[in-house]
Structure 1
């Protein structure tokens, strides 16, 4: 399938621009054609198979107010919270304590200004007097009232005052006449007055005058300035033949195409009869009321978007399409707009309609397949509760909707959609299918190397042939906790303000992808009556198809020369088709819709986010000690291994341990969910029994799963090596013959631990003169021997082993040519001490 039909753009096309020119020759000579191609080139857009391919999405419009010498004008569609561009500012007043700002918000007329926020704190107006006005039912501006409100972090604030001693704001909405200036600004700063032919009225732009009195207790520094704006108010609705403000997705898309200033300037979306009829149908679909699980309804597809004039119209369309899982085609002379909705088959064909070979691909390649959809929408909510600063990291508290914090209208994760247990399914069948799962593990089945099964909620791969009745276990050698093949699709729904709308789009995006079959059919002219997004019923016995629903994604008209001279040419229609089903577009709020906490929306508001799935098959090994880099210290530790949690929302695994049955749990931190093994070292003492537990953690919300626990594991490790010790008897060495040194049974005490070394006889060459021999036993773990000698002992004329870590020094003896040594040196570590012969 063409890249242009991939993912968010989904702009199915009948023909490319070249083919469009073929069917509509007037297109090439039209100003629209040049403007379209120029705008697409500037925006980094190309047209392929009649569809706009993926575009650069770097421009988001002004999120905060800035000051720039030359800035693009902002375009606001629907409702958005935006900053602006400060085009003029000054300091006035007898004490220079009044700060004046002229801030441009958009390059067009707007419907209304809803709110002003300074450092995230909403300004509440007196509601009357100079500067205050009501536009389209929304009051804005004038003087801030004198009440106290709760703002970010639960801090109280008061912007009020009398007259102009506090906050003052006055607005122009973009319809002001030439020569109009804001008198409040002129009274403070005469430089803003109209002088002769010069008038700073900012024609066609929505802007505000804002005056802030100096008050370091309220504004320690220049405030962040943002406003909630109901934007463009001249969007045409062909159903009523009126121009007005709307956030209807289809009407917004049509406006981008038709607008001669900010769009493509092509009015055929309204004037072409077929395109206009489709636009009416699309607008009606968007206005359909969808029941919400928590009560009430909302429009099916809305569009609320801000960008600036530096972004090409093609890029704007590409950004808007995902908000309704929408598609767009240029057919004949008009633009056709389709929001996602089920279209029942309107044509019926069978194989007799085929005039040539057909191609059919049953499955997508793995790289094009996904089994869950996640992403972001623009959350208009705020995270603070007026009762006491209670919030979560997603910006939600108990369904609160008060928009008075600086990070509202920011990208926020919507609940991931998958056909899994939390959405009412018995299991995540697509995840299992993509992971190669053959079924649930059975003790009666013989598995081969590489077979994949489900066991205890985890996915396991067989590591051996003839694998029968071997329970999957991370501690064993017959199975490996393979983990699930999570294949996520990321959506950036930058025009969507509703978390439920985002989830509806996510479901449609996922289910369209799981309708994997696609192909190309060569058909007779009877198929020419179909256009992209039409659905036909097709019967083909060879593939066991009976009235299979196929959606048209592209059409191609071609003429073939006759097979022989004089034979008339043949006309062929090549259709690109994709299987589809009505289930793609069904929506059941009670199971499909989740709250931002990933809980069923029908359960009502909740502060408890959905718990992630638990890790599986925890095993704990107690003898996982390690010798430190000094070669002396033995560090006891516990080794943990587990199966990955069977979901995609877990981000970390939390680990704790306690002395067995004590209940005094010690936190050992977290590891990434990508890890399935860890060690516990902190506070572990050899010879002690421990309880260990782990659980899943979702760091974005703080939600945790259930503890998975393994109890009563013995921490086994050698004693830590000691740098000093004593031996008993102090002189365990004798020389019974000229060629031997006898070592008596010896006890060595290392710290509080005493070990034993067995008696043994070491052979030496007959000394020609009295010679010192130094005797050591190699005991790297300082564990001693039991019964018979098992450790290597050395009698050497060199002192190289004396004082070396891991060797127990027993002493030195002056061996004589005839035997019976007359002088010995005491044992112990460090170096030996000289003693007198008795």
Structure 2
């Protein structure tokens, strides 16, 4: 047992202060030793064990149990401890690691202002670093480093840094673990505990240095991750040692690596090189991709833990080709990655006893759905779900029950398409049902584990049926030597793959969450305003609501600011736990609003400011009234209803004004006349004279600011039959008496300089007999700017009334035409007072009508194109 403990403890990185006599001058440096097999677990022992039963590994092993592999978090998160187990990196992965040494030294004349750390990546020399991340911010790339090194200017510890908040404010250096590498000079010069003996030969590590900066590092030292290319491996096919992701070459390298450096420590004669090189050739076969191009059939991009048992590491390696490894006849061999044509046919005359057939696997071992994950190389090796592989055919064979086998993360798999091929291989291999045990004579002596054989047994109807040998045992008994083969059915279809079977990645790539260690990003705030009434009766005031957004779920505090555009300093608001803030009693004006957010680690975003925004307050025009509807009542009244207006300054001190146009469509405020009286802004209905046409409603706030116009069309309807008995039509001649107005071209217009005018109808309406009558006016007007502003003073416009103006003027121009009537009283032989009307009932015989025209200023003209009054009596 003592030997077991020593070997397992050997796979540790050690910080030591004095040279070790039993080791090279790594001694006092960052050193790596590697533990190998547990005591007694030698090649011979494994051979003896494997001779009795096939060692089912790789994806096949995953069907029985998941390989114990380092998770992404275990290999990317930083820990702090002086002693740690080493990792062997094959291929390319993103690694974190254990901080084995850290110090604070003087900077700027102040103690403990500069931070230093050393983080090992692998217990061997690596091919190089690709990029470095601090938290979720990429700060360094190999491509940039090469450009900076070629120029040879600036601080070498800044070479390779790319644009980010950290650029030029940190120092980084990657030591690849070369056998002749020297100790990190900046650390040696700054910290007494790190000396020239701390060379770390054969250990790849990254050195990090930064000065104290509360804004840059609000929670202390950041998480460091390095995307690196791993160990260079020897290829017997050409005698070269190079970086490779070929899983067969990686397995060969691991097996031959001495125990002292984390491997198994076997010799070349302990390996079945023919099988390994055959697998190496197979792994490099190009496989077409659905998106175009090709990729290697098999690859391994992952880490092996020197603390784990070699069996576990070999299992992890063999998942890369979905096959197996075994120790057969004293040598490590591999297989299961492709179909192999059988070289031997077993017949009845080779059997020395009865065979045993197992027709179907136990139900608990069945599955028809496969799930798995892979470390996506295009998304910083984030572990991501592969598309679920389900077979309805197999599900039907399982009586419709959905049986799921979750393979978990495929160790070393970083390819989306390759991962799907491994899932299919696992499903098809797992569905192999028939197994057979064949007691054979010495004629089967040459059969090896993993071989494919044909079996011809006419009594069972088997003719050259193919099986894979999964177990081999040799026994000696009274009947002689027996080679007992355990086999499972197989066929070439298991390894088939077509690009049509590949499920593409989701559009937009793999979704990832922002990191809590990265500086958060927030949007500029949006501003909306609303009015409110103070409790103390102080009147109506303005409240501003600020709101910001972010896609960072780790933000837990917000802060907003505001300043008038003319002010130099902003007013910073208190913290809120939601991305909103309310500012009461804001005076009208133009402001700049800002926002920032803080994540759970205390890191603030930058202040983000919106463009200048105007707070109008009570000066803001009200919104339109909504859901305006109307109906006639009693044949003489139009009932209008609408929703309660949302603006406080309309409901308090405001009003709603109504106008009417004689058309059912196309009516505008400028082509209509006032009808009825305005109502308070707080009410939701009004009673107006009934006339066919369009009713228009417009809100005004307490300061008189008008809002948009809403309209509803009505047709006058009456339950009492009525007939027209008289009519006065003034257009187009307009021959009546005029004061402040004139007629030309069939249009009656207010005179220039006049804001009020009267037009008296040409004649008196005589109904023949006195009695009740309903008078209804019919008016069409247009309020226009008097001058066409497209032309300067002294230029001639190219229009004359009644042609429309080229310049249509202000839609808010105000004017009106008020129709008025008076009734002759025969008892006194006098005319009564003038009364305004739109549609109203009177009693009499003789009626005189006039129109009062008004505009709000001399800049406007009111033009009348239709003006008539009709009289109706019941029939």
Structure number with bigger Rg? 2
Q: Aligned pair in 2 of structure 1 residues 359, 133: CA closer, same or farther (>3 Å)?
A: farther
Give how far 1:311 is off.
1.4
Give how far 1:131 is off.
12
- Indicate conservation of the 8 Å contact 1:125/1:142, yes or no: no
Give how far 1:81 is off.
0.8
- The equivalent of 2:303 in structure 1 is 306
Give how far 1:55 is off.
7.8
- The equivalent of 1:454 in structure 2 is none
- Indicate conservation of the 8 Å contact 2:369/2:402, yes or no: no
TM (norm. structure 2) is 0.48
Q: Which SS does the other structure have where 2:80 is aligned?
A: coil
Q: In 1, Cα distance between the equivalents of 2:198 and 2:51? A: 41
Q: Which SS does the other structure have where 1:250 is aligned?
A: helix
Among 140, 150, 155, the alignment partner of 1:124 is: 140
- The equivalent of 2:123 in structure 1 is 107
Give how far 1:320 is off.
2.4
CA deviations 1:40-81 (Å, max 9, x no partner) are 999xx9997252785872654532122103212222222111
- The equivalent of 1:481 in structure 2 is none
- The equivalent of 1:249 in structure 2 is 247
Q: State the number of aligned residues.
A: 457
Give how far 1:202 is off.
1.9
1:577 aligned onto 2:487: yes
Q: Output aligned runs, 1:592-607, within 5 Å.
A: 592-597=501-506, 605=507
Which ranges in structure 2 are unaligned for 5 or more consecutive residues? 1-34, 512-875
CA deviations 1:315-348 (Å, max 9, x no partner) are 2112222222121121112111125211112222
Q: Which SS does the other structure have where 1:123 is aligned?
A: strand
CA deviations 1:117-141 (Å, max 9, x no partner) are 001111136978999769xxxxx97
Q: Output aligned runs, 1:439-454, within 5 Å.
A: none
1:409 aligned onto 2:381: yes
Q: In 1, Cα distance between the equivalents of 2:70 and 2:467? A: 37
Q: In 2, Cα distance between the equivalents of 1:299 and 1:200? A: 40
Q: Which SS does the other structure have where 1:257 is aligned?
A: helix
- The equivalent of 2:217 in structure 1 is 219
- Indicate conservation of the 8 Å contact 1:520/1:576, yes or no: yes
- The equivalent of 1:375 in structure 2 is 372
- Indicate conservation of the 8 Å contact 2:130/2:142, yes or no: no
- The equivalent of 2:184 in structure 1 is 182
Q: In 1, Cα distance between the equivalents of 2:374 and 2:275? A: 27
- The equivalent of 2:91 in structure 1 is 78
Q: Aligned pair in 2 of structure 1 residues 33, 558: CA closer, same or farther (>3 Å)?
A: farther
Among 413, 421, 433, the alignment partner of 2:397 is: 433
Q: In 2, Cα distance between the equivalents of 1:490 and 1:308? A: 20
Greater shift, 122-131 or 364-373, is seen at 122-131
Q: Output aligned runs, 1:268-667, within 5 Å.
A: 268=267, 270-271=268-269, 275-382=272-379, 408-419=380-391, 428-435=392-399, 484-562=401-479, 570-590=480-500, 592-597=501-506, 605=507
Which ranges in structure 1 are unaligned for 5 or more consecutive residues? 1-30, 135-139, 149-156, 383-407, 420-427, 437-483, 563-569, 598-604, 610-838
Q: Which SS does the other structure have where 2:481 is aligned?
A: strand
CA deviations 1:786-838 (Å, max 9, x no partner) are xxxxxxxxxxxxxxxxxxxxxxxxxxxxxxxxxxxxxxxxxxxxxxxxxxxxx
Q: Aligned pair in 2 of structure 1 residues 322, 502: CA closer, same or farther (>3 Å)?
A: same
CA deviations 1:266-294 (Å, max 9, x no partner) are 535x3258x11111101111111111111
Give how far 1:356 is off.
1.0
Q: Which SS does the other structure have where 2:78 is aligned?
A: coil
Q: In 1, Cα distance between the equivalents of 2:223 and 2:82? A: 19
Among 257, 260, 269, the alignment partner of 1:259 is: 257
Q: In 2, Cα distance between the equivalents of 1:131 and 1:606? A: 31
Q: Aligned pair in 2 of structure 1 residues 217, 245: CA closer, same or farther (>3 Å)?
A: same
Q: In 2, Cα distance between the equivalents of 1:103 and 1:608? A: 29
- Indicate conservation of the 8 Å contact 1:319/1:494, yes or no: yes
1:57 aligned onto 2:61: no
Q: In 2, Cα distance between the equivalents of 1:173 and 1:338? A: 33
- Indicate conservation of the 8 Å contact 2:376/2:416, yes or no: yes
1:89 aligned onto 2:87: no
- The equivalent of 2:706 in structure 1 is none
Q: Aligned pair in 2 of structure 1 residues 512, 585: CA closer, same or farther (>3 Å)?
A: same
- The equivalent of 1:170 in structure 2 is 173
Q: Aligned pair in 2 of structure 1 residues 266, 544: CA closer, same or farther (>3 Å)?
A: farther
| Structure with the higher strand share, 1 or 2 | 2
Q: Aligned pair in 2 of structure 1 residues 433, 252: CA closer, same or farther (>3 Å)?
A: same
Q: Aligned pair in 2 of structure 1 residues 33, 110: CA closer, same or farther (>3 Å)?
A: closer
CA deviations 1:595-642 (Å, max 9, x no partner) are 244xxxxxxx56799xxxxxxxxxxxxxxxxxxxxxxxxxxxxxxxxx
- The equivalent of 1:143 in structure 2 is 158
CA deviations 1:174-201 (Å, max 9, x no partner) are 11437x222233444465342xxxx111
Q: In 2, Cα distance between the equivalents of 1:578 and 1:339? A: 13
Give how far 1:349 is off.
2.8
- Indicate conservation of the 8 Å contact 1:145/1:159, yes or no: no
- Indicate conservation of the 8 Å contact 2:37/2:309, yes or no: no
- Indicate conservation of the 8 Å contact 1:353/1:524, yes or no: yes
Q: Which SS does the other structure have where 2:277 is aligned?
A: helix
- The equivalent of 1:240 in structure 2 is 238
Q: In 2, Cα distance between the equivalents of 1:608 and 1:310? A: 32
Q: Which SS does the other structure have where 2:85 is aligned?
A: coil
Give how far 1:244 is off.
2.7
Q: In 2, Cα distance between the equivalents of 1:130 and 1:518? A: 58
Q: In 2, Cα distance between the equivalents of 1:129 and 1:559? A: 66
- The equivalent of 1:159 in structure 2 is 166
Q: Aligned pair in 2 of structure 1 residues 489, 298: CA closer, same or farther (>3 Å)?
A: same
Q: In 2, Cα distance between the equivalents of 1:126 and 1:276? A: 35
Q: Aligned pair in 2 of structure 1 residues 133, 532: CA closer, same or farther (>3 Å)?
A: farther
Give how far 1:491 is off.
4.2
Q: Aligned pair in 2 of structure 1 residues 98, 47: CA closer, same or farther (>3 Å)?
A: farther
Q: In 1, Cα distance between the equivalents of 2:133 and 2:38? A: 42
Q: In 1, Cα distance between the equivalents of 2:270 and 2:45? A: 26
Q: Aligned pair in 2 of structure 1 residues 354, 332: CA closer, same or farther (>3 Å)?
A: same
Give how far 1:560 is off.
2.2
CA deviations 1:499-523 (Å, max 9, x no partner) are 2111111111111121210010011
Q: Aligned pair in 2 of structure 1 residues 500, 573: CA closer, same or farther (>3 Å)?
A: same
Q: Aligned pair in 2 of structure 1 residues 307, 293: CA closer, same or farther (>3 Å)?
A: same
CA deviations 1:115-174 (Å, max 9, x no partner) are 11001111136978999769xxxxx973167864xxxxxxxx43223xxxx121122211
Q: Which SS does the other structure have where 2:387 is aligned?
A: strand
Q: In 2, Cα distance between the equivalents of 1:82 and 1:539? A: 53
Give how far 1:352 is off.
2.5
- Indicate conservation of the 8 Å contact 1:40/1:313, yes or no: no
- The equivalent of 1:727 in structure 2 is none
Greater shift, 548-557 or 486-495, is seen at 486-495
Q: Which SS does the other structure have where 2:378 is aligned?
A: coil
Q: Aligned pair in 2 of structure 1 residues 217, 127: CA closer, same or farther (>3 Å)?
A: farther
Q: Aligned pair in 2 of structure 1 residues 36, 302: CA closer, same or farther (>3 Å)?
A: farther
Q: In 1, Cα distance between the equivalents of 2:239 and 2:162? A: 44
Q: Aligned pair in 2 of structure 1 residues 106, 531: CA closer, same or farther (>3 Å)?
A: same
Q: Aligned pair in 2 of structure 1 residues 266, 105: CA closer, same or farther (>3 Å)?
A: closer
Q: Aligned pair in 2 of structure 1 residues 572, 263: CA closer, same or farther (>3 Å)?
A: farther
